Amino acid sequence: MLLGNPAPDFTLPASTGKKVKLSQFAGKKVVLFFYPQDMTPTCTAEACDFRDGIGRFRRNGAVVLGISPDPVKLHHKFAEQYELPYPLLSDEELHVCKLYDVWKLKKLYGREYMGVQRSTFLIDRDGLLAKEWRNIRIKGHVDAVLAAVKALG
């Protein structure tokens, strides 16, 4: 995906019990983070970092959305357990993961498998891709995303 191009629109079921359509946030900045799996240590740390920064994102006009292939029922449990104040979207069919090119061949201890590459996308008020972070590390990531949100004005 090329920066400056329209972010691909989608509709997915959310942990809130509703469907979320990306285009419903027109006029707002959107932080879209893809993560591999609910309830795992690294994904929990990332989700909680976004939770802890939610006030700063909202004050800067940004909406935060998390996406993984987990089912809505597990998203609901994850969001409830860790008091996540933003929707977690379920992409069980991997349509959106593939649309954003985060469904990748991964390697762990010499074993290859397909999975979600931890990635974050920043979409501006006009629905254009403003910035992307791929294969990220958790430490300092939310601060970097927040700085990019602020830089958009």
Active site members: 43
Burial 10-32 (b: 16+ CB within 10 A, else e): bebbbbeeeebebeebeeebbbb
**For helices 141-151 and 41-52, angle between their N-to-C axes, nearest 10 degrees:** 40
Other beta carbons within 10 angstroms of residue 143's beta carbon come to: 12
CB 64 within 8 A of CB 57: yes
CB 112 within 8 A of CB 26: no
**Rg value, the chain, Cα:** 14
CB 130 within 8 A of CB 28: no
